[in-house]
Amino acid sequence: SSSSRDDALRDKRAQILSRGLPKQKPIEGVKQVVVLASGKGGVGKSTTAVNIALALAANDSTKEVGLLDADIYGPSVPKMMNLKGNPELTPKDLMRPLKNYGIACMSMGFLIDETAPLVWRGLMVMSAIEKLLRQVDWGQLDYLVIDMPPGTGDVQLSVSQNIPIAGAVIISTPQDVALLDARKGVEMFRKVHVPVLGLVQNMSVFQCPKCKHETHIFGADGVRDLAKTLGLDILGDIPLHVNIRETCDSGQPVVISQPQSDA
C-alpha cells in the first residue's frame, strides 16, 4: 500500500540522515591544514597560496611546510614553484612530493602532460582528490597549505568534510562580481564548520611605475566592506604589481626572490 511505502521511505531517509557527515580523518604526519579559497577564478588565489606557503617557511625556519594543489582542471603550482617530473613511489606505494625552496609540493600537474586537458567527470575528480589527500607521503609537516579550485562544489565539500581544517583564507579582488562569489565561499565554509581566518584583498591598488599615481582598478575597499559585514578580519592587502605576476610566472615567487620588496 502507499502508506507502507511512505513509511519505508521515511525509515530509509532517517537511516541516511543518522549517518551524518563522513568522519574526518587527519592526514598522516600533518599537524595543521590551511585552505586558500575563492568563490571566483582569476583573483590570484594560487599566487597568494604559493607565497603564503613560502612566507610561513621564511618566518620560522623550524617549521616544515607543504603545498597541495587541489585544482585538478587547472593546476598552477608546478609552474609557480618551478617543478617538473613525476613523483617517486615509496615502498608503501605512496607518492613522494616534489620539493623546491624547502616546500613539499603535490599537484595533478605532476601526473599529467602540461598541455593535456583533463576531460573528467565529477567521480574521477573526487577519486583524484582522495589520492592527493591520502596517498602522499608528506613526512612530518607543521602546515599543509591547500590551494583550492574556484567555486563551492564537490572538491571544496569533499576536502572540508574529510580532513580536519585549522582554517580557511578567502582571496578576492575588490570588484563587485568577485565579492559576490567570495561571500558564497565564506558561507560554504561556515556551513561545514570550517573556521574562516579572514579575507585577503588582492589587486587592491595599482601604482604607475613612472609617475607613482595610484589607481584602484578593481575598486577601493570592497573586500574590507565585505569583511566588516561578515564580522571577519582583513589579513592583508596585496597590490596589483607586475613583479608579483612575473616572479610567479618564472617559478621564483616574490616572497623567495624579492623578500625585501614592498610587494
In the predicted model, what is the mean pLDDT of residues 151-175?
89
Task: Give the range among 12-16, 65-69, 94-98, 149-153 with minimum mean pLDDT.
Answer: 12-16
In the predicted model, what is the mean pLDDT of residues 100-123?
86
pLDDT at 17 > cutoff 60: no
pLDDT recorded at residue 100: 96
pLDDT at 20 > cutoff 70: no
Confirm whether 16 is domain-assigned. Answer: no
Confirm whether 186 is domain-assigned. Answer: yes
Q: Which residues contact 1 (CB under 8 A, 6 or more apart)?
A: none
Which pTM was predicted? 0.85
What is the distance between the alpha carbons of residues 42 and 28, in angstroms, rounded to a whole number?
32
pLDDT at 94 > cutoff 90: yes
- What grid cell was written down for 193? 564548520
Confirm whether 4 is domain-assigned. Answer: no
Contact assessment for residue 111 and residue 129, using Cβ atoms and an 8 Å cutoff = no
Q: How far out from the chain centre does Cα 200 lie?
A: 13
pLDDT at 115 > cutoff 80: no
* Per-residue model confidence as pLDDT tens digits over 80-90: 999 999 999 99
pLDDT recorded at residue 199: 94
Q: How deeply is 115 buried, as exposed, middle or buried, from its count of CB atoms within 10 A (0-12, 13-18, 19+)?
A: exposed
* Portion of the chain with pLDDT greater than 90, in percent: 55
In the predicted model, what is the mean pLDDT of residues 244-251?
92
* Per-residue model confidence as pLDDT tens digits over 164-216: 999 999 999 998 888 899 999 999 999 989 999 999 998 888 878 788 888 88
Q: How confident is the model at residue 18 (pLDDT cuts 50, 70, 90)?
A: low
Q: Tell me if residue 232 falls in helix, strand or coil.
A: coil
pLDDT recorded at residue 93: 92
Rg (CA), the chain: 20
* Per-residue model confidence as pLDDT tens digits over 22-69: 578 999 999 999 999 987 888 989 999 999 999 999 999 999 999 999
Strands (E), the chain: 30-37, 65-69, 98-100, 103-107, 141-147, 167-172, 196-202, 206-207, 214-215, 234-238
Q: What is the DSSP letter of 89?
A: B
Confirm whether 11 is domain-assigned. Answer: no
Residue entry with cell 513509511: 7
Confirm whether 247 is domain-assigned. Answer: yes
In the predicted model, what is the mean pLDDT of residues 146-164?
87
Number of domains in the chain: 1
Confirm whether 83 is domain-assigned. Answer: yes
Q: How far out from the chain centre does Cα 235 lie?
A: 16
Contact assessment for residue 45 and residue 62, using Cβ atoms and an 8 Å cutoff = no
pLDDT recorded at residue 56: 95
What's the domain range around 61? 26-258
Beta strand 167-172 pairing with 196-202 = parallel
pLDDT recorded at residue 4: 76
Q: Tell me if residue 136 falls in helix, strand or coil.
A: strand
* Distinct helix (H) and strand (E) counts, the chain: 9, 10
Q: Tell me if residue 235 falls in helix, strand or coil.
A: strand
Q: How confident is the model at residue 228 (pLDDT cuts 50, 70, 90)?
A: very high
pLDDT recorded at residue 217: 80
Confirm whether 174 is domain-assigned. Answer: yes
Q: Which residues contact 251 (CB under 8 A, 6 or more apart)?
A: 79, 80, 81, 82, 83
Q: What is the DSSP letter of 22?
A: P
Q: Which residues contact 226 (CB under 8 A, 6 or more apart)?
A: 172, 179, 182, 183, 199
Whichever domain contains 127, its CATH number is 3.40.50.300
Contact assessment for residue 33 and residue 49, using Cβ atoms and an 8 Å cutoff = no
pLDDT at 19 > cutoff 70: no
